[in-house]
Structure 1
Amino acid sequence: MTETSVPAPAVGGRWHSTTVRLLTIYAFIFSISVVLALGLIGKSVTSTMESEIDIVLHWQLIYFDSFADGELADAVQLRSEHERMHPNYYGLFAADGTCLAGDILARPPSVPVNRAGVTLTLALNTISNGSSPVVRAMAERRANGQTLVVARDLTNILRRQQIIINTLIVGGVLCLSAGVLAALALSVRQVRRIKAIRHATQRIAQGDLGQRLPVGGRDEIDMLAHLVNHMLAEVERLMNEVKGACDGIAHDLRTPLARVRTLLMRIDERTSGARDDTLEQLIDKARGETDALLERFRAMLRISEIGTLQRRGGFGKVQLETLVREVGELFEPLAESRSIEFVVHTVPVGSTHADRALIFEALSNLLDNAIKFTPDGGAIRLELNQTPFGPRIDVIDNGPGIAADERDAVLQRFYRGERTRHLAGSGLGLSIVSAVITVHDFTMRIGDANPGTRISIECWTRTLA
């Protein structure tokens, strides 16, 4: 995995599941709907109740209108005495507010005298029996200035209304809880399927094109998995055809090139006594070009060989500190031959799960490039440091460096940077390093050393969450 690879977005917790998000939205909408439904039901029930009671109160006022002014007080008193066990209250008041008859002792000031119903709570000193009920009241002013107030107790009706609303609330909570639990139970299976798909795609992103997404759900995810698997099968087939063709060409051309090199050596031997300087130069140039072609084909086959490692049979515990020092000792004489200051710095980092031979080969390619592109008298540092995430290997030189817009391209086969195009090379060294890093699931970053290049290998695996 190089610096330019883009990992899949991490999934941090169950909240990131679409099922859980939809469930949360559903629960919110359900709760709002229940609140609105309860409000609508309460308003509808209250409005219907008040309308029906207003009709009853209106007819009671019509009944009392049939009495003359002198008989009204006796009629109200008689009706009050007969209604002691019923939810009705009456009151007849003089123009100055004095109670003339009935069990309503004080005229409620909030009740208009235009026969409009009003819901209110009567004060404790208002009713003769000392209660404080919630009533629906209506009043009218008679021609002689007296005010007649009739009221009906709503306590029992409101209690039943509250019972109905509480029942609806409890039922709604139970339904919501059952729905949430059922959705969570269903989401467990979906989350497991997504985890299995994520694991498979992680392996595919790491180069294992033989992986396939799990199927079996018979839903939209399953349909998408089938399409992706079909696409992967086609991609794998095309990649194998291209790889097979490239490897076949590289393998088949090695033998003719080796023969050409042998023929050039024999021609050189035959013409060694002719003392033709031009011919010797041409033969040496042809041999050099042939050696370069053979080296490129060997590198191409090595990259393909590394890329086909699937089971990682050579992996084990590797002591990076020892490995880095061994690579440094190998390249130190080559650096000294060009008066390059070569420094190796290591710290204890413990063991790392890796293929020792491949890591050795990758570091060898990096140091070979660094020595090749560092001018005589330059400086190279090989460092092994411990970070909070794991060990990191840095190869730092003060050569021409790699331009920021070329750091992705230099990992491709045969690419040569503009600053180093004049130097000999095949353009495959970093491709081999990239193949090794990909096999290990490590990360390689190319940066600027100001001046020169810093190449860092982060020796820990970045798994997709």
Structure 2
Amino acid sequence: MNAFVKRGEASSSSEKDSSDGAAVPVRHRWRSSSSRFIAAYATLFSVAVMLLLAFIGVSTTQTMERSTDLIIEWQLNYFDAFPPGEIEGAIRDRLAHEHQHTAFYGLFDQDGKAVAGNVAMLPKLMPSDRTGATFEHTLSIDALQTSPVVRAMVLRRPNGQILIVAHDLTHILSIQRRTINALIVVGSLCLSAGVLFAWLLNRRQRARISEIQTVTRRIAAGDLAERLPVKGADEIDMLAHLVNHMLGEVERLMGEVKGACDGIAHDLRTPLAHVRAKLAHISDKAARYGDEDLNQRIMDVRRETDHLLDRFRAMMRISEIGTLSRRGGFEDIKLGELLGDIDELFEPLAESCALTLSLRSDANDIVRGDRALLFEALSNLVDNAVKFTPAGGAVQISLISCPEGPRIEVSDTGVGIPPGERSAVLQRFFRSERTQHLPGSGLGLSIVAAVVNLHGYSLRIDDAQPGTRISIECWPH
């Protein structure tokens, strides 16, 4: 029964959460493992693709430079084999046969003046002998307006001449860029397909979890006949099978306990009724002898017997309410008229106890419910308020319209309920030490809690300063 008190607090916290956004705030979606898995997958895939592209770029660049350096070094050795007077002719012959314009040659004297070749001038940053260097649009070529990206190597001959050989890297770099672009496109498509598939899987799993949540709420509301949906044989279905098996065992055990309690209550109620009837006969006979002490003792036993019978009736009533069909006998109820009937019923009792009973109603809201059960539950609340309020106090019944629906409040100026006992008072047979001297079975609020649970409402106990205020929020929770 503790859930009836906590349900009001939980509903207020859920209203705060829902006020921040939609029914399922976006910030809550990232709490699911599947959403975090999608984010982690996208991040890891993106990092992996970037590392792969970096590796391919570095690897192809190094391979390209090594292969180009081998060709350039072979050509340097070829030209270096010519004597000083013949190397110029060799360079001109080679340029004459160079139709693709991918190789460039230059021969300079020791002062840096061009002697032969199509390299117009020496680069500003001269590399060491036979050391490859890449020049990005900085090597001046006679036949070209725009200098390409080239790989060059320099050789200083013994007579002071400087020989430079360069190769165009434009074609190789174009292949490299196309390869990287293709990997980027394919990687993006794979990432998009993976994220889409993960999103669809996440949507399916969230739909299943939503179904399980809906069923779980009905189970938590007391409908133990419900079972979690099973649609396959994955991990969620395995867990659903286990929970369903557990629910079956819980329902069976609760049914056995309930059956045993109901049987005990029913079996004991009959002999107690017989005892009460026999005590009435004994009391009549004792009155003939004029023994007042014996007659008083018999009356005390009869009151105790009546008290036990009242407890068994209340226990049986709680059991009957728990077994009712949830929506079977529900109808439209005007709460204003219902509270008016209760106020009229308890007004003479309040006057006899020197109490002020008042009714405050903002509207005559209509709800779906069982009128007889709601009348019984509210009667128990007003009866308790009248019972535990000293003479000269006040009891107020209120009907308040809220955005979610109507709220019924019964407040008094009595002894109040300590915060530590507000959950316990909804349990069967609980009696506070401060009210032990007053008559009662400790089952009145248990009946109220059973009716509230049947309707799916929420019950809340607060401090009225002084006294107690019990609120029933008449909308589904």
TM-score (norm 1): 0.93
The whole-number CA distance in structure 2 between the counterparts of 1:333 and 1:146 is: 128
Confirm or deny: 8 A CA contact 2:416 2:468 kept in the other structure.
yes
- Cα distance, 1:125 vs structure 2: 5.2
| Structure 2 match to 1:441 | 456
Number of residue pairs the alignment of both structures matches: 462
- Cα distance, 1:343 vs structure 2: 2.0
The C-alpha deviation readout for 1:424-447, integer Å capped at 9, x for no partner, is 211101111111111111111111
The whole-number CA distance in structure 1 between the counterparts of 2:426 and 2:454 is: 15
- Cα distance, 1:137 vs structure 2: 1.6
Structure 2 residue 198 is matched with structure 1 residue 196: no
| Structure 1 match to 2:391 | 376
| Structure 2 match to 1:21 | 36
Q: For residue 4 of structure 2, what is the amino acid of its counterpart?
A: T
Confirm or deny: 8 A CA contact 1:442 1:460 kept in the other structure.
yes
SS of 1:396 mapped into structure 2: strand
Confirm or deny: 8 A CA contact 2:337 2:364 kept in the other structure.
no
Structure 2 residue 166 is matched with structure 1 residue 164: no
Q: Which runs of 5+ in 1 are unaligned?
A: none
| Structure 2 match to 1:176 | 191
Q: For residue 382 of structure 1, what is the amino acid of its counterpart?
A: I
- Cα distance, 1:111 vs structure 2: 4.0
- Cα distance, 1:349 vs structure 2: 5.4
Structure 1 residues 180 and 271: CA distance shift in structure 2, 3 A: same
Q: Which moved more, 1:181-190 or 1:299-308?
A: 181-190
SS of 2:410 mapped into structure 1: strand
1:275 to 258, 266, 290: 290
1:41 to 56, 66, 81: 56
The whole-number CA distance in structure 1 between the counterparts of 2:25 and 2:443 is: 39
What pairs up with 1:119-198 in 2 under 5 angstroms?
Answer: 119-123=134-138, 126-198=141-213
- Cα distance, 1:412 vs structure 2: 0.6
Q: Which moved more, 1:44-53 or 1:310-319?
A: 310-319
| Structure 2 match to 1:107 | 122
Confirm or deny: 8 A CA contact 1:402 1:419 kept in the other structure.
no
The C-alpha deviation readout for 1:206-251, integer Å capped at 9, x for no partner, is 1111111122311111111111111111111110010001011111
| Structure 1 match to 2:343 | 328
2:4 to 2, 5, 9: 2
The whole-number CA distance in structure 2 between the counterparts of 1:106 and 1:329 is: 114
Confirm or deny: 8 A CA contact 1:208 1:310 kept in the other structure.
no
SS of 2:185 mapped into structure 1: helix
SS of 1:4 mapped into structure 2: helix
Confirm or deny: 8 A CA contact 1:401 1:448 kept in the other structure.
yes
Confirm or deny: 8 A CA contact 2:326 2:455 kept in the other structure.
no
Structure 2 residue 78 is matched with structure 1 residue 76: no
Confirm or deny: 8 A CA contact 2:215 2:228 kept in the other structure.
yes
Confirm or deny: 8 A CA contact 2:72 2:153 kept in the other structure.
yes
Structure 2 residue 341 is matched with structure 1 residue 339: no
Confirm or deny: 8 A CA contact 2:119 2:139 kept in the other structure.
no
The C-alpha deviation readout for 1:402-455, integer Å capped at 9, x for no partner, is 111111111110011232222221110111111111111111111111221111
The whole-number CA distance in structure 1 between the counterparts of 2:440 and 2:300 is: 15
Confirm or deny: 8 A CA contact 1:399 1:452 kept in the other structure.
yes
Structure 2 residue 239 is matched with structure 1 residue 237: no
Structure 2 residue 90 is matched with structure 1 residue 88: no
Q: For residue 50 of structure 2, what is the amino acid of its counterpart?
A: V
Confirm or deny: 8 A CA contact 1:134 1:154 kept in the other structure.
yes
The whole-number CA distance in structure 2 between the counterparts of 1:147 and 1:402 is: 105
SS of 2:288 mapped into structure 1: coil
What pairs up with 1:286-435 in 2 under 5 angstroms?
Answer: 286-348=301-363, 350-435=365-450
Confirm or deny: 8 A CA contact 1:344 1:383 kept in the other structure.
yes
SS of 1:24 mapped into structure 2: helix
Q: Which moved more, 1:327-336 or 1:7-16?
A: 7-16
TM-score (norm 2): 0.91
The whole-number CA distance in structure 2 between the counterparts of 1:85 and 1:126 is: 14
Confirm or deny: 8 A CA contact 2:326 2:454 kept in the other structure.
no
The whole-number CA distance in structure 2 between the counterparts of 1:51 and 1:309 is: 87
SS of 1:92 mapped into structure 2: strand
Confirm or deny: 8 A CA contact 2:123 2:139 kept in the other structure.
no
Q: Which moved more, 1:107-116 or 1:277-286?
A: 107-116
The whole-number CA distance in structure 1 between the counterparts of 2:402 and 2:139 is: 79
The whole-number CA distance in structure 2 between the counterparts of 1:454 and 1:94 is: 108
Identity of aligned residues (%): 55
